[in-house]
Chain A
């Protein structure tokens, strides 16, 4: 999916938990997520804290989209 969409030249950032799979399928910009059933959240936090966690990941993703890269890059 990531590769297919990026094939048209649109930059794609992949937010996912299992980074090795993302690398194998060929995502170029990868942002690690929290957990498989809740990549952008954490049910153990209160909603305000959880929002912050989500926002931080989205901001990392946006940062990745603004960064020129040569090959697969993980944005921790």
Chain B
């Protein structure tokens, strides 16, 4: 008999809607839906999606506990053999949801779980140590390649077969070390590696150094009433018409906007260009993302020394880590030159 699979997808892949439906609460439907159809085929009759759980990305992330409890209760009577979430590609909220629910299902229901996402998805860093995450492309165009890998690893997990190394199976490195017998002794391998290195050839370390990608907290501000504060946002707030044409996702640039004489970000002059959340509320009142109205009042009251006359804006969804780093570096230099003492950064 085919193994019983429960598949988790978001409102978008369930064809319920885009950002305007991202608050959709969890529900269950019989059989495979959307990417589940392809996944089902990839199982080649060995397993079958008996139910699909759908949840809006914003709903999940804003109500993690409720969403998890509801999904667990929906799965109660199914007696699934396997749980697959996504793949989420580079969608941040979707990736976080896929990682969270996969971990809960494997830990609490003891059902093997696997998901898939792009390596820069924030859900990858959060869950790759605990959950098998198939590495995918950064966009849904990678679906066709991702599904067979997801299916293959899922079947192995369900059958408790030996899971080989990340490269062979296609999952993100979990940081687990396994002993095995190598054909050559360590000294020999090390010398080979060194020779390759000296010849500028490609070589592969056997012990990648962990990345400690942390930054020391900046020193606290002593006297706020004399400090200059700048605002930066990844929420995509721009002057109406988006003069710099900042992309609605995967941004390649950021904007610098003069707010010298601006006391509030009204809907006549500002809007959001972010494509990763329902823009209705931010367009109605852009202060909901970049709180210039409050900051001006605090400035007037003398609580803050001054508001930096420019705010910096980009869209944070799907934007490559490398781009973000470049933006931050450039913005940093400007802020330092302009004597900014602290930054409020808002994200959606």
Nearest-neighbour CB distance to chain B for A5, whole angstroms, equals 5
CA distance A26 to B346 in the complex (A): 14
Nearest-neighbour CB distance to chain B for A13, whole angstroms, equals 6
A17: chain B residues at CB < 8 Å are 61-62, 347-348
A54 touches which one: B229, B293, B343 (CB < 8 A)?
A: B293
Does residue B139 face the partner (Cβ distance < 8 Å to A)?
Answer: no
* Interface residues of A, count at CB 8 A: 53
B213: chain A residues at CB < 8 Å are 3, 26
Nearest-neighbour CB distance to chain A for B328, whole angstroms, equals 2
* Interface residues of B, count at CB 8 A: 67
Most buried by B among A35, A40, A41: A40
B218 touches which one: A9, A15, A38 (CB < 8 A)?
A: A9
| Chain B 165-205 per-residue mask, 1 if CB under 8 angstroms from chain A, else 0 | 00000000000000000000000000000000000000000
| Chain B 276-293 per-residue mask, 1 if CB under 8 angstroms from chain A, else 0 | 011111101101110101
Does residue B234 face the partner (Cβ distance < 8 Å to A)?
Answer: yes
CA distance A18 to B219 in the complex (A): 24
Are A35 and B58 closer than 8 Å at their CB atoms? yes
Are B346 and A70 closer than 8 Å at their CB atoms? no
Are B345 and A15 closer than 8 Å at their CB atoms? yes
- Those 7 A-B pairs whose CB atoms lie nearest each other, nearest first: A4-B328, A11-B218, A41-B288, A28-B217, A16-B347, A38-B281, A38-B288
Binding site for B on A (CB under 8 A): 1-18, 20-22, 24-29, 33, 35-41, 43, 50-51, 54-55, 57-59, 61-62, 65-71, 73
Other contacts beyond A9-B219, A11-B219, A36-B93: 16, CB < 8 A = A1-B234, A7-B328, A10-B332, A10-B342, A11-B341, A14-B345, A17-B347, A37-B282, A38-B289, A54-B293, A55-B294, A58-B298, A62-B298, A68-B219, A70-B217, A73-B217
